[in-house]
A = this chain, B = another copy of it.
């Protein structure tokens, strides 16, 4: 089963990379870009077809390894 995990940095946490990219876009003339935030998506291919179990297990993977709970929130999407 395919699982997509979307990891977002919490809004109150600074995102220096996003700021640098915004500045670069402005220099290239894309001044309409007011904000840039950089996030991650993790695609998992899981050898298991039990939706409930997969959801539970991926949730544990996120809280233990994939996301950093101090800085990030995550969202698990099956399929």
Interface of A with B (CB < 8 Å)? 6, 18, 21, 24-25, 28, 30, 32-48, 57, 61, 64-66
Contacts and interface: CB of A to CB of B under 8 A. Distances in A.
Given A48-B32, A61-B25, A66-B21, A40 B39 contact: yes
A6 B35 CA distance: 16
B43 A41 contact: no
A46 B61 contact: no
Contacts of A41: 6, 38-41
Contact of A24 (B32, B47, B65): B65
Contacts of A64: 28
Contacts of A39: 40-43
